[in-house]
Amino acid sequence: MEMKKSPRARGHLDRLVVMVAIALPLVLSACQKVTVPSHIAFQSNRDGTDQIYWMKADGTELKRLTNDTFKNEQPGLSNLGLKVAFRSNRSGTERIWSMFSDGSGLAQLTDLDGVAAPRWSYGGQPIAFSASGPDLHPNIYTIWSDGTHLKKLTNASKDNVEPSFSPDGKRIVFTSTRNGMSDIYVMDADGSHQTRLTTDPKNDAEGSFTRDGNQIVFWTNRDGNGEIYIMNADGSSQRNLSNNPAFEFEPICAPETDEIAFQSDRDGNPEIYVMNLDGTNVRRLTNDPAVDRAPDWR
Ligand SMILES: [Ca+2]
Ligand SMILES: [Ca+2]
């Protein structure tokens, strides 16, 4: 599979070219060392209640990360997949929890009610999520992974949900119904400069920045069924990437390649798929009659 590399990865490759002149065995060894582990986490009810799973980005090495009888949903991975934040009802009420991806270090992050969809900043801190808290409708919050530095970023009278960071950590794309319909918005990571990007009369949601920060992938039902769209980060040039009569949603961009993971029921039940940023090369990663959904990619 041909994949474009980030500047950091290209730097590794440049060094590898020098090493080729030295000794091929050394190069092969170095290739293994510089490969950035890339995992897609998701939730599935294949073993009963919803649990957190992950797999390598090619769909191999599937592993269950939570293993209990509680509902564990909506995973958000930290860089290199070291930790995972997720929603769980293990304390009796749905809260945001985090753990290392081997299942150790389980910790509750907040006491806020009505939480959903934690997404880690690519810089390591903070984690963004939505919570209703004391309000009638959910707002966007950020919190550090040790549970400190809780900050409320939105204060609107309607829903503000599904935050996701730009790769440089400076912006957050999110979904809001503050203007009557579900639309994509963007703001600075401190909550300032909240700007509406979509105005279609149908619903737009679930924004995710591409790895260069120049485009945003999102979900919309403007064509009558769920589709994955892409637009420039200023909202211009909106176009359909999935073009399938099935229901596609929950797109998330890869951190190191020009690819998108998403969910679709095109093969009869919800599965996780990956496609290139131009909509080509669609391949299915999961193959289970259960509901596989809510991917995140690091
Ligand atoms: Ca569709
Ligand atoms: Ca499935």
Q: Tens digits of per-residue pLDDT, 187-239?
A: 999 999 999 999 999 999 999 999 999 999 999 999 999 999 999 999 999 99
Q: Is residue 19's pLDDT more than 50? A: no
Residues 4 and 68 occupy one common structural domain: no
Which ligand has the nearest atom to the CA of 46?
2
Residues 10 and 44 occupy one common structural domain: no
Residues 157 and 243 occupy one common structural domain: yes
User: Bridge partners of 38?
Assistant: none
Residues 24 and 165 occupy one common structural domain: no
Give per-residue pLDDT as tens, 70-82.
Answer: 999 999 999 989 9
> Which CATH number characterizes residue 214's domain?
2.120.10.30
Contact (CB, 8 A) for 133 and 139: yes
Q: Is residue 18's pLDDT more than 50? A: no
C-alpha 106 to ligand 2 mean position (Å) = 27
79 or 16, greater pLDDT: 79
Buried b (16+ CB within 10 A) or exposed e, 119-151: bbbbeeebbbbbbbbebebbbbbbbebeeeebe
Which ligand has the nearest atom to the CA of 293?
2
Band of residue 36 on the pLDDT scale cut at 50, 70, 90: low
Task: Find the range with the poorest average confidence among 27-41, 67-81, 278-292.
Answer: 27-41
Which ligand has the nearest atom to the CA of 224?
1
Q: How far apart are CA 26 and CA 257, in angstroms?
A: 25
Residues 169 and 151 occupy one common structural domain: yes
> Which strands, in side-by-side order, build the sheet including 160-165?
160-165, 171-176, 183-188, 195-196
Residues 133 and 249 occupy one common structural domain: yes
C-alpha 219 to ligand 1 mean position (Å) = 10
Residues 1 and 114 occupy one common structural domain: no
Residues 195 and 249 occupy one common structural domain: yes
- Residues 262-270: contacts with CB under 8 Å, at least 24 apart: 262/228, 262/295, 263/292, 263/293, 263/294, 263/295
Residues 43 and 28 occupy one common structural domain: no
Overall average pLDDT of the 172-188 stretch: 97
Band of residue 37 on the pLDDT scale cut at 50, 70, 90: confident
Q: Is 18 helix (H, G, I), strand (E, B) or coil?
A: helix
Q: What is the pTM of this model?
A: 0.88
Average pLDDT score over the chain: 91
Q: What is the DSSP letter of 5?
A: P
The total of structural domains in the chain comes to 2
- How many percent of the chain have pLDDT more than 70? 88
Q: How far is CA 22 from the centre of its chain?
A: 40
Phi, psi angle pair for 297, to nearest 5° = -130, 120
Residues 30 and 53 occupy one common structural domain: no
The pLDDT of residue 277 is 97
Q: Is residue 8's pLDDT more than 60? A: no
Structural domain boundaries, residue 31: 1-35
Residues 154 and 259 occupy one common structural domain: yes
C-alpha 51 to ligand 2 mean position (Å) = 13
Whole-angstrom Cα Rg for the chain: 19
Q: How far apart are CA 260 and CA 83, in angstroms?
A: 21
The pLDDT of residue 157 is 87
The pLDDT of residue 156 is 82
Residues 45 and 166 occupy one common structural domain: yes
114 or 5, greater pLDDT: 114
The length of the chain in residues reads 298
